[in-house]
Structure 1
Amino acid sequence: MQNSTQAANAWRILFLLFLANLFNFFDRTIPAIIIEPIRMEWHLSDFQLGIIGTAFTLVYAIAGLPLGRMADTGSRSKLMGWGLAAWSGLTAVNGLVGSFWAFLIVRMGIGIGEASYAPAANSLIGDLFPAHRRARAMGIFMLGLPLGLLLAFFTIGAMVKAFDSWRAPFFIAAVPGLILAVFMFFIKEPKRGAAESVQVSQERVDRPIRRVLAVPTFLWLVMAGLCFNFATYACNSFLVPMLQRYFLMPLQEAAVATGVIVGVTGLFGLTLGGWVADKIHQRVANGRLLFAAFSLIISTLCTAWALHSGRIEIGVFVAVFSVGWLFAYNFYTCVYTAIQDVVEPRLRATAMALFFAGLYLLGGGLGPVVVGALSDHFAHTAMLSAGAEQMTEAFKAVGLHDAMYLIPVALFFTMVFLFLASRCFVRDAKRMKEGLVAVVEPVGAAVTA
């Protein structure tokens, strides 16, 4: 009876974590959808547009380190509650600003609020679900990503059209987040390591960051995550404006097409991917990471072909790019779970904070600004090649399209690092389990004495 009650509580908590994750990605996606109206109003370059995403991710990554440590040592529910309230409130403030720099500063504040969430939520999931169910639980949690993106891409354009203002979505998005923040404070947390097969010490760990960085699998996964986030943030930041410029689509249609590519695919990729990953893991110890590496091969080929085909039918572009993104989503269920398998429970939030720091500082932080800078460069090159003296929207369309080739390149390197991580995963997972047993033995001896 107690086990069934604990299981039901775990799924209820997971549902709340999923909802908060959905709002997390919904809120952070708004600027990427309305980027063209912002560019026109404030006369910005693509490099400046990239800075909006980069500033957010840099602050997100830096703030995530101390907040991740707080999640390992303090109340995860309170940390998530205050963080959700902060980023939701600042999202509303984003709709009030009147300049590029004010907009940028508020986005950085939102980054601090959102940085409190992922390490604490991932740590909670690791304590709520045993190893053989974590990929599925992580898949459900990460459904907040595609659903948040899907909801944003399918509704933001309509909001802008209905209110005739790009500011309206920020006010609307803040309301549900502020309401959900209240529920976060009532989450009943499990003990750290409660889902492990052996008892886990609740004592603090000395030199936690050094302990985490000593795990080879973790380092390879950080490299993979760096490349993967470069690709995803570049895609999420510039796919809507690329469709508007290169394929001449209106904002609402471009947003919906992007929603299909990065949102609908995630619904299938994360649910089916988590289930397949768990099945493979039961037969092959490092099967999750091999499955993720294979998925990234397909993702690389599909995204590269879609871009290389030029101005093909928009339906064909969306279909092929969507197949690539469908397989790319297997990264989340496989890699996040692999980190849980090689890092002991007391260090998991710290590990996730370090992981996200690598992802966002050097991955998500660089993706938008590098693609934006290359877009400006390629647009200028196209203008000179045409013998023109004035920049036009046509040259900007070519520049942004060509800069997006960095996406399949980054996905290819993600695949390489995932394969390298798979080679040392079994050894590191075994070492983690042996370390848990070693921690328990002195405790048991003391009790007996």
Structure 2
Amino acid sequence: DLFPAHRRARAMGIFMLGLPLGLLLAFFTIGAMVKAFDSWRAPFFIAAVPGLILAIFMFFIKEPKRGAAETVQVSQEKVDKPIRRILAVPTFLWLVLAGLCFNFATYACNSFLVPMLQRYFLMPLQEAAVATGVIVGVTGLFGLTLGGWVADKIHQRVANGRLLFAAFSLIISTVCTAWALHAGRIEIGVFVAVFSVGWLFAYNFYTCVYTAIQDVVEPRLRATAMALFFAGLYLLGGGLGPVVVGGLSDHFAHTAMTAAGTEQMTEAFKAVGLHDAMYLIPVALFFTMVFLFLASRCFVRDSKRMKEGLVAVGESDVAVATA
């Protein structure tokens, strides 16, 4: 509501900086917290404190007028059957599927990258946590700020440029993460560098997709659209990612143990099992890219339809007010 279409990717990029900053803070301090309190539970309690404080400040945020940054007058009337109207937008459905796959990958990575570095690369907890912070945190600081700027520039030249840029970025993410895993026990610095490049480009998902939803859904329905989008992302994508990768990790570990002809589970088998299960991350990123490309094919039509609808509703409201 506060930013026009040609500035939304940059605005969203700055807003989403909270994600890598939070991950950076968490992974850089979690090892020290566990060591200081001699308990893995301590970080969970400590992480709750900022949320309680920020909840108070939420009451002081001024509610903007719906569609305040649009070029036409936006009706403030209630929309009939809002969910049905949102689900009738093809671009939105493709973006939901892309979001499911993307969150599957990101939550699996955030959940298991530290233990994978510990088991497979034999890193201490604190070093593994810092390396993960670099991969999922530091990369976001650059990916979101630069990516948002690039996405807006492309959008001004090509109508569906943001989604094409996101799809291209996910190709790079898929290749880099897949190669880093396929390379095996390479130098940890090389693994972190290559995986980080993949995650750097993955962050373009946020600046491109979140803004694309605003471009195809009218202002009165955007909060509902984002609620549906996030419900799918977290209930299915975020919920299934850690569960499926964790289950496959156990399965591959037992497979490695059986292949070795022993019945005793060791850390070496667990390391192989978790490493092989992590291949689901580039697979999920690949499907994210596919769905983003499909969304880009119907984006222009859906965006035009949304704008025409705004004009029609605005003219109707003016006519009623005049009468």
Number of residue equivalences: 323
What is the alpha-carbon distance in structure 2 between the residues aligned to residue 179 and residue 400 of structure 1? Answer: 37
Deviation at 1:442, TM superposition (A): 1.6
Query: Are residues 1:200 and 2:40 paired?
Result: no
Q: Deviations over 1:424-449 (max 9, x none)?
A: 10110010011011111121112223
CA deviation profile, 1:122-162 (whole Å, cap 9, x unmatched): xxxxx111111111110011111111101100011111112
Q: CA deviation at 1:391?
A: 0.7
Distance 1:339 1:429 in 2: 9
1:313, distance to aligned residue in structure 2 (A): 0.7
For 1:418 and 1:173, the matched residues in 2 are separated by 33
CA-CA distance at 1:345 after TM superposition: 0.6
By how many angstroms is 1:362 displaced?
2.6
Shift of 1:191: 1.1
2 CA distance for matches of 1:408 and 1:144? Answer: 24
Of the three residues 229, 233, 245, the one matched with 2:119 is 245
> Percent identity between the aligned chains?
94
Please state how far the C-alpha of 1:188 moved relative to its aligned partner. 1.2
Of 402, 411, 424, 2:285 maps to: 411
Q: 1:163 and 1:210 mapped to 2: Cα distance?
A: 50
Instruction: Report the Cα distance in structure 2 between the residues aligned to 1:222 and 1:442, rounded to whole angstroms.
Output: 32
Q: 1:356 aligns with which of 230, 254, 257?
A: 230
Per-residue CA shift, 1:101-137, capped at 9, x if unaligned? xxxxxxxxxxxxxxxxxxxxxxxxxx11111111111
Note the alpha carbon deviations across 1:168-192, whole angstroms, 9 max, x for none. Answer: 2233222222222211111111111
- SS for the counterpart of 2:302 is helix
Q: 1:74-103 deviations in whole A, cap 9, x for unaligned?
A: xxxxxxxxxxxxxxxxxxxxxxxxxxxxxx
CA deviation profile, 1:27-84 (whole Å, cap 9, x unmatched): xxxxxxxxxxxxxxxxxxxxxxxxxxxxxxxxxxxxxxxxxxxxxxxxxxxxxxxxxx
The alignment yields a C-alpha RMSD, in angstroms, of 0.9
Counterpart Cα distance in 1 of 2:167 and 2:239 = 23
Partner of 2:157: 283
Q: Which runs of 5+ in 2 are unaligned?
A: none
Query: More deviation in 142-151 or 155-164?
Result: 155-164
> Any idea what SS the aligned residue of 2:123 has?
coil
Q: Are 2:322 and 1:448 aligned?
A: yes
Cα deviation per residue 1:396-443 (whole Å; 9 max; x = unaligned)?
110000000011111111111111110110110010011011111121
Structure-2 separation of matches of 1:314 and 1:325: 16
Q: Output the CA distance in 2 between the equivalents of 1:163 and 1:149.
A: 20
Per-residue CA distance 1:221-275 (angstroms, 9 max, x = gap): 1111111111111111110110111111111111000000000000000000000
Measured in 2, the distance between the counterparts of 1:166 and 1:389 equals 30
The one-character-per-residue Cα deviations of 1:282-339 (angstroms, maximum 9, x if unpaired) are: 0000000000000011100000000001111111100000000000110110000000
Mapped to 2, the partners of 1:173 and 1:362 lie a distance apart of: 24
2:209 aligns with 335
Higher mean displacement: 198-207 or 320-329: 198-207
Deviant stretches of 4+, over 4 Å = none
- State how far apart, in whole Å, the 1-side matches of 2:218 and 2:184 are: 48
Q: After the TM superposition, which residues 70-219 of structure 1 pair with which residues of structure 2 at under 5 Å, given as runs?
A: 127-219=1-93
TM-score (norm 1): 0.71
Q: CA deviation at 1:166?
A: 1.7
Q: Taking structure 2 as the reference length, what is the TM-score of the superposition?
A: 0.98
Q: CA deviation at 1:201?
A: 1.1
**Distance 1:128-1:263 versus aligned 2 partners, 3 A rule:** same
Q: Distance in 2 between matches of 1:177 and 1:222?
A: 27
Whole-angstrom distance in 2 between the partners of 1:187 and 1:262: 29
Q: Secondary structure at the match of 2:147?
A: helix
Tell me, what secondary structure is at the counterpart of 2:143?
A: helix
